């Protein structure tokens, strides 16, 4: 609920040109172009589909290989969470039509690359948390998602609130996905025939 409320607040501020948006644009202008360009470009690219989706696909494959049919709910939830990213981000971009930092083009809020990174890496980590030796994937997902947002802002591809809004939206998607998965798994475990 908190992530959804904060996402609604940030979205309202961006859409209506509130005080947070003015602060955001001042901070963004101060950050654009900082850092070595090859590094910041690499960080920004972590949120692209060709980079993030294979990570999620590998986690899906590992889960299905290890757990077979028992892992199908978790795998399906991760796929649906990833599908929710464009289903939510694309209409929001069109509706809000925020101009980009270094261009007059619109459609920059929320950041699709950030949402993709958050849900792909976060979804992969959630799948792999079931295996104790892979507990490192959660911090790795956090670092990759943070790095994506930093790269996008430093390169001037997005305003900071574009990234923050996507982190909040991604958190909502992952929390809903995780909650639905736990409920489905619990129902299956106790099913009509009793505990399995």
Tell me the per-residue pLDDT of 55-92, one tens digit each, with 9 for 90 and over.
999 999 999 999 888 888 899 999 999 999 999 999 99
pLDDT at 196: 33
Burial of 116 (0-12, 13-18, 19+ CB in 10 A): buried
pLDDT at 145: 98
pLDDT at 194: 38
pLDDT at 182: 62
Instruction: Provide φ and ψ at 106, rounded to 5°.
Output: -115, 175
In 3D space, the residue among 173, 177, 122, 175 whose CA is nearest the CA of residue 148 turns out to be: 122
pLDDT at 67: 86
pLDDT at 186: 47
The total of other beta-carbon atoms located within 10 Å of residue 180's CB is 15
Segments of the chain scoring below 50 in pLDDT: 184-196
* Whole-model pTM over 0.85: yes
Burial of 35 (0-12, 13-18, 19+ CB in 10 A): middle
pLDDT at 188: 45
The residues spanned by each domain of the chain are 37-189
CA 122-136-139 angle, to 5 degrees, is 50
In 3D space, the residue among 164, 132, 135, 113 whose CA is nearest the CA of residue 11 turns out to be: 164
Write 29-36 long-range contacts (CB < 8 A, 24+): 29/101, 31/153, 31/154, 31/160, 32/101, 32/102, 32/153, 32/154, 32/155, 32/156, 33/154, 33/156, 34/154, 35/154
Please report how many Cα atoms fall inside a 13 Å half-sphere around the Cα of residue 163, on the Cβ side: 24
């Amino acid at each position: 609920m908190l992530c959804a409320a904060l996402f609604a607040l940030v979205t309202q501020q961006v859409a209506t040109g509130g005080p947070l948006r003015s602060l955001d644009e001042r901070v963004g202008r101060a950050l654009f172009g900082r850092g070595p360009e090859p590094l910041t470009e690499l960080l920004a690219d972590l949120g692209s589909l060709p980079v993030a989706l294979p990570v999620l696909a590998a986690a899906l494959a590992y889960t299905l290989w290890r757990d077979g049919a028992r892992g199908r709910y978790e795998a399906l939830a991760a796929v649906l969470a990833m599908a929710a990213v464009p289903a939510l981000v694309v209409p929001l971009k069109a509706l809000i039509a925020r101009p980009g930092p270094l261009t007059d083009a619109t459609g920059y809020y929320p950041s699709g690359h950030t949402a993709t990174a958050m849900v792909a890496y976060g979804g992969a980590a959630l799948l792999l948390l079931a295996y104790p030796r892979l507990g490192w994937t959660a911090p790795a997902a956090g670092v990759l998602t943070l790095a994506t947002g930093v790269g996008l802002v430093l390169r001037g591809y997005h305003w900071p609130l574009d990234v923050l809004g996507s982190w909040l939206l991604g958190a909502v998607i992952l929390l809903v996905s995780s909650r639905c998965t736990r409920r489905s798994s619990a129902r299956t475990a106790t099913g009509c025939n009793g505990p399995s």
